[in-house]
Amino acid sequence: MQALFRALPSADACLALLERSFPEAAHDTLLACCRGVLDDLRAAVRERRVTSPEELSLPAISGLLRASAARACAPRLRRVLNGAGVVVHTNLGRSTLAREAQEAVALAARDYCNLEFDLDSGERGSRTALVEGLICELTGAEAALVVNNNAAAVLLMLDTLCKGGEAVLSRGQLVEIGGSFRIPDVMVRSGAILREVGTTNRTHLSDYAEAINEQTRAVLWVHPSNFRVIGFHSAVSPAELAGLAHSRGLPLLEDLGSGSLLDLSPWGLRDEPAVPGVLRSGVDVVTFSGDKVLGGPQAGIIAGKKRFLDAMKKNQLLRALRCGKLTLAALEATLRLYRDPERACRSIPTLRRLTMRCEVLHARAEALLALLAPALGGLAEVRLEDGESRVGGGAFPEQGLPTELVSVRPLEMSAAALRARLLAGDPPLIGRLEHDWFQIDPRTLEDEDFPDVTRVLGEALSPRAASDHTA
């Protein structure tokens, strides 16, 4: 064993090799890679996984060293190909931005801008005023405010309007959204006392009426987002609730979650109230996300009656929840596209994906198949099949969107092994596993992605990749 340890090259020799291959990399980063690889090899010797000195020579371990340095030098946040067919995929960054929004972000990133500077007076301005007018125009609200995300929007709303008092909420709406956002916990944080009414499956207007007392500050309505109660079930609509709340001098607050600005029912996305309709129904303040169905950057939008929004703008908590200039730039550019709904559906990727017609999906699946079939011949079977895409982001939970999947069945490995290799690809390709098939949904890929999809699949299926992996 001592002879094997002595066969290992010195850290300096390893470092010299890496410094030639990675001239731009920081010295300490490369040194850490060398030490890590040498430590792993010593462990392999102790565990008798390595038994010959030749396996430990500098040329023999140079592949390990370079792979370690390449990993250490690569950015951790990377482009991935979303073939999973979940349009608002929270784990993959939810919405990608329209070209107009990308350009606005680049401008705000590169140049100074009037983030908090009033160009009319030459005095200090307000960052919230940048998009407030646009939100009011598109939703019919009197006033609006933008914060870091919808969780922050709910927190600011409750902290401002309900702190120290009670907010009435149906037990059917005590929801947890993915990523551990729990309405009851957010309420505790805000200092509002949750007054639960009704039961999980049924809540009546009288339940709300009986719970209102002199401690009550607001009636709350939370969109159940990621689940639906079916069967013996009843809930009070926001319109009925608004009547009750207003007759008792209380505001009705709604956490809408996804928050579509357009009515998407012509595309089969029903039962999801759009923000303008929510406000027309009598809701006083509504909060929703910027990066779900809206298709913009991560943000929380608060819209509603001026006197409630004025109070939120004065809350010190806003300083901790406000969003940055890159977000505001992307949001403004995205919202501007909504002035022409047809243009919004064409230009905002999330909307374009949600409203993509079956004929288009079919043609695109055919186009991908035509690239894959010759490239993967002999390595996999490839075919088209009917399937469903998902909206994701908690919106329209039980509604699948019909799509056409491109399914790949590897001939020499399992579909699970193919999926694992694709995760190590450059860029990684995310898809769905269905029995022996790896499925790709063209809805969440761009046509320009198809050559990359073809290449990474070819690389992952090639037998050479297999031997690299076992080495």
User: Residue 458 and residue 126: Cα distance in Å, rounded?
Assistant: 52
Query: From the list 84, 145, 151, 168, which residue makes contact with ligand PLP (rule: CB under 6 A)?
Result: 151
- What minimum distance in Å lies between the beta carbon of 145 and ligand PLP? 14
Binding to ligand PLP (CB under 6 A): which residues in 299-318?
Answer: 300
Q: Are 100 and 72 in contact (CB under 8 A)?
A: no
Tokens of 437: 């098939």
Q: Are 168 and 219 in contact (CB under 8 A)?
A: yes
Q: How far is CA 164 from the centre of its chain?
A: 33
Amino acid at position 175, single letter: V
Tokens of 305: 């009656």
Q: Are 225 and 190 in contact (CB under 8 A)?
A: no
**DSSP3 helix / strand / coil % (the chain, rounded to 5):** 50, 20, 35
Amino acid at position 415, single letter: A
Binding to ligand PLP (CB under 6 A): which residues in 364-383?
Answer: none
Query: From the list 150, 334, 347, 444, which residue makes contact with ligand PLP (rule: CB under 6 A)?
Result: 150
Query: From the list 95, 128, 149, 347, which residue makes contact with ligand PLP (rule: CB under 6 A)?
Result: 149
Interaction of residue 255 with ligand PLP, rule CB under 6 A? yes
- What minimum distance in Å lies between the beta carbon of 221 and ligand PLP? 10
Give the nearer residue to ligand PLP in terms of CB position, either 9 or 394. 394
Q: Are 144 and 301 in contact (CB under 8 A)?
A: yes
385: left (phi over 0), alpha (psi -120 to 50) or beta: beta
- What minimum distance in Å lies between the beta carbon of 101 and ligand PLP? 17
- What minimum distance in Å lies between the beta carbon of 150 and ligand PLP? 3
- What minimum distance in Å lies between the beta carbon of 24 and ligand PLP? 37
Q: How many residues does the chain have?
A: 471
Give the nearer residue to ligand PLP in terms of CB position, either 287 or 355. 287
Determine how β-strand 86-88 pairs with β-strand 216-222: unpaired
Give the nearer residue to ligand PLP in terms of CB position, either 81 or 152. 152
Binding to ligand PLP (CB under 6 A): which residues in 20-49?
Answer: none
Give the nearer residue to ligand PLP in terms of CB position, either 216 or 327. 327
Part of the chain binding ligand PLP (CB under 6 A), chosen from 52-60, 108-116, 160-168, 222-230: 222-230
Query: From the list 216, 225, 327, 439, which residue makes contact with ligand PLP (rule: CB under 6 A)?
Result: 225
Residue 66 burial (CB count, 10 A): 16
Give the nearer residue to ligand PLP in terms of CB position, either 68 or 225. 225
- What minimum distance in Å lies between the beta carbon of 205 and ligand PLP? 22
Give the nearer residue to ligand PLP in terms of CB position, either 298 or 454. 298
User: Residue 53 and residue 39: Cα distance in Å, rounded?
Assistant: 16
Say whether 249 sits in a helix, a strand or coil. Answer: coil
Q: By rule CB under 6 A, what string of x and - marks binding of each residue 171-210 to ligand PLP?
A: ------x---x-----------------------------
Query: From the list 394, 410, 431, 442, which residue makes contact with ligand PLP (rule: CB under 6 A)?
Result: 394
Part of the chain binding ligand PLP (CB under 6 A), chosen from 79-87, 218-226, 241-249, 462-470: 218-226
Residue with tokens 């005023």: 129
For 460, phi and psi rounded to 5 degrees? Answer: -70, -30
- What minimum distance in Å lies between the beta carbon of 155 and ligand PLP? 9
Tokens of 32: 């850490």
- Residues with Cβ within 8 Å of 381's Cβ and at least 6 positions away in sequence, in order, are 408, 409, 411
Part of the chain binding ligand PLP (CB under 6 A), chosen from 28-36, 69-77, 250-258, 324-332: 250-258
User: Residue 360 and residue 267: Cα distance in Å, rounded?
Assistant: 14
User: Residue 294 and residue 202: Cα distance in Å, rounded?
Assistant: 30
Residue with the closest Cβ to ligand PLP?
257
Which residues of the shown chain bind ligand PLP in the complex (CB under 6 A)? 149-151, 177, 181, 222-223, 225, 255, 257-258, 289, 300, 394
